[in-house]
Structure 1
Amino acid sequence: MAEMVERSRRVASVRVLERRVDALAAAGEVSASRARQLRMVVGMWDLALGAWPKGAPRPGRAVASLFEESALRAFWGLAVAGRLRSRGDGTVRPLAAPTRRVVRDCLGILADVVVPGRDVWLPEVQQPRPKATVPPGQLAVLYRRLVDMASDAPVEGGGMSLSPEDRVRLLAMMAVVLDTGARSGELESMRLPDLAAGESRLLVRRVPQNGDHLAYEEVCELREGTGVAVRRWLRVRRRLVAPLEGAAPDALWVSLRPNQWQPEPGFPLKAQGIQKAYGRGAVALNGLMAGRSGWVPLPTTLEQVRRAVALPDGPGAAAPAPPVGA
């Protein structure tokens, strides 16, 4: 999502709107991610009022006037055209569909706060059709094949290759996802103390994609095969972080090789790096295993696997898992 330009908050209605968002965040009524999105939309309102389309009825000083249908339609037209954000190079691009959904949802939240009970106009945003997931009946087959891949030989296929370290990390990560349904951001937040002794349980910090739902923690049971895969990865991980100067990172998933940002391997993987690592590994494994009996081709995005895993209905109240070695 493009970075918003600096806002002046000169208009009284926008200043009031900003204070309402601050109050929601302070009271814990929205998650931190949703609060950031709401502040982004407040900034978009500030920009919109400085570039209001000619001929459109202009909102008054009262904050409620921002949620009149004529004002919302004018705001939406500017937002969709990309005129309420800046990419830093002066270019203007239409708002992407995911960002449109975020802005639309934020407008609804703000309307409920500013004009509670009023039926306000909100734009319709088409929901994309999700990519196909692994059929539930094939998840067990996929899991068995993954945890059985114990060879240290490089995995090659699809014009790509996986080193032994790549393979060990990928299989451990996949097994964890199949047991927990963790998103890439939730994988990024995993730490060594989140693993119970024997790698039988793992604390997952759930960050629901719907920003209306607050983050929560859940202790997930790991199957025996997942524990085996994770222990193999922990041995590789120890070798990677050992040469680092200072305190070694406690992130569960770390890099395997240097990159343009980090001169050494062993640094914590970010969500984007986790997604890329999975994608490369899935292509290589599918190329290698194509046509083999019982092999279920891996989806090419981690999200497709995650959505195939049944998740619990709501926040759990479990305490953090005991640390490794406890």
Structure 2
Amino acid sequence: MSIDGVVSAARVVLGGPGLPIFRAAGLPPLPRDAPQPVELRPPPDQKRLTELRKWLDSEVRRYRSPGHSRFVALIGVVLDTRTRAGELVAQRIDHLAEDFSRLHVIRSPQHGTGTGTPVTSEDAALSPLSQAAMKKWLSARAELTESLQGSASALWVSLAHNHAGTAGSDGHHTPRRAGMPLQQRGLIRSYNTSRLPYGLAHLLPPKLEQLRRAAPAS
């Protein structure tokens, strides 16, 4: 077949100028793939959430490491406030009430207006469990940010030198030190890597967003 013949055949298959040939033969046009809706993964049921809260209640009474304190506090906050990962990393230390009873949340839905302006904000109530967890996390956080000389304002901070940071004029990267603002990717990675070590694969879903959607709406 000549090149012109190949092009003509391609047009017929793709539904271009050759489409009338299908109609002349009494054939329907080739179907086009319709966009498929995104299927959300199911959140944990209430039984699993009850077991998870029991685990949190037992874990908040002990101290294993700064990472453990941060993980317990994060789970408690998500269950109480339905906060997204991006909203968590945007929180500052002054968003937490002095008595730990409430946490200011700036809602930024994933499919918002596209303007970058937060849709709503609220002071969400924290349960006694989350309040206790936050007190332990703030104690660990104070040690992590001690070398920053009071310049740290992020509520959730990194635990150790983690990634390459920003490249200097010589092209070399300076690692980000402990106590720096936790990034969204780091928060999600921390959630994913903590499920197995703490024996929670049967209670915590693979995605943090699934856990958020399982929490009751206020």
Same fold (TM over 0.5): yes
Aligned to 1:211: 112
The amino acid that maps onto 2:156 is W
Give the secondary-structure state (helix, strand or coil) at the position aligned to 1:202.
strand
Structure 1: tracts of 5 or more residues without a match: 1-52, 57-76, 78-122, 154-163, 291-295, 313-326
TM-superposed deviation, 1:253:
0.4
1:218, 1:256 → 2: CA distance? 28
Structure 1 moving runs of 4+ over 2 Å: 150-153
Aligned to 2:11: none
1:285, 1:278 → 2: CA distance? 11
Alignment pair present for 1:130 and 2:37: no
RMSD: 2.5
Match for 2:198 among 269, 280, 285? 285
1:208, 1:169 → 2: CA distance? 24
2:111, 2:46 → 1: CA distance? 24
Alignment pair present for 1:267 and 2:180: yes
Match for 1:241 among 142, 145, 163? 145
TM-superposed deviation, 1:208:
1.4
The amino acid that maps onto 2:189 is K
Aligned to 2:127: 223
TM-superposed deviation, 1:166:
1.1
Q: Which has the higher contact order (CA 8 A, sep 6+)?
A: 2
2:38, 2:55 → 1: CA distance? 32
Match for 1:198 among 99, 117, 122? 99
Post-superposition CA distance 1:83-122 (Å, at most 9, x none): xxxxxxxxxxxxxxxxxxxxxxxxxxxxxxxxxxxxxxxx
Give the secondary-structure state (helix, strand or coil) at the position aligned to 2:73.
helix
2:95, 2:176 → 1: CA distance? 27
Alignment pair present for 1:140 and 2:46: no
Give the secondary-structure state (helix, strand or coil) at the position aligned to 2:88.
helix
Aligned to 2:211: 305
Contact 1:283 1:300 in 2 (8 A): no
TM-superposed deviation, 1:129:
2.2
TM-superposed deviation, 1:128:
2.8
1:209, 1:201 → 2: CA distance? 23
Contact 1:147 1:171 in 2 (8 A): no
TM-score between both structures, scaled by the size of structure 2: 0.73
Aligned to 1:102: none
Contact 2:51 2:203 in 1 (8 A): no
Q: Which has the larger radius of gyration?
A: 2
The amino acid that maps onto 1:151 is R
2:126, 2:194 → 1: CA distance? 22
Aligned to 2:87: 186
The amino acid that maps onto 1:146 is L
The amino acid that maps onto 1:256 is L
TM-superposed deviation, 1:222:
0.4
TM-superposed deviation, 1:148:
1.7
The amino acid that maps onto 1:145 is W
1:177, 1:258 → 2: CA distance? 25
TM-score between both structures, scaled by the size of structure 1: 0.50
Post-superposition CA distance 1:59-86 (Å, at most 9, x none): xxxxxxxxxxxxxxxxxx9xxxxxxxxx
Structure 2: tracts of 5 or more residues without a match: 1-13, 18-31, 166-174
Give the secondary-structure state (helix, strand or coil) at the position aligned to 2:198.
helix
TM-superposed deviation, 1:193:
0.9
Give the secondary-structure state (helix, strand or coil) at the position aligned to 2:195.
helix
Give the secondary-structure state (helix, strand or coil) at the position aligned to 2:148.
coil
Give the secondary-structure state (helix, strand or coil) at the position aligned to 2:211.
helix
Match for 2:160 among 223, 237, 257? 257
Larger proportion of helix: 1
TM-superposed deviation, 1:124:
3.8
Contact 1:147 1:175 in 2 (8 A): no
